[in-house]
Structure 1
């Protein structure tokens, strides 16, 4: 599961435009949502499942 979440986050990061601030990617059934946000050049992400926060906002380090 952690590897899948990381893969989704990395794929989302690759698709973020130069001026994008916040992007959300959802699973086909809409239950899993990964939000990646660009704030001052640093990326942050959070994960929700079925409307509940599973992973609080955290800085993405690469």
Structure 2
């Protein structure tokens, strides 16, 4: 869980994560039906990481 999935996505874009590490993928934040806003990151080995927040919750 993170305070802001959008902030993490923006950070990954700002540091050029995909360009620095070929094979890495970063998905834009997506609000899931169960209420979490999630940014997905796949590392070059295919490991999937979730950066999720509960919108509207105070950190």
Give the TM-score of the pair, scaled to structure 1: 0.35
Larger Cα Rg: Structure 1 or Structure 2?
2
Give the TM-score of the pair, scaled to structure 2: 0.36
Which structure's residues are more often strand, by fraction? 1
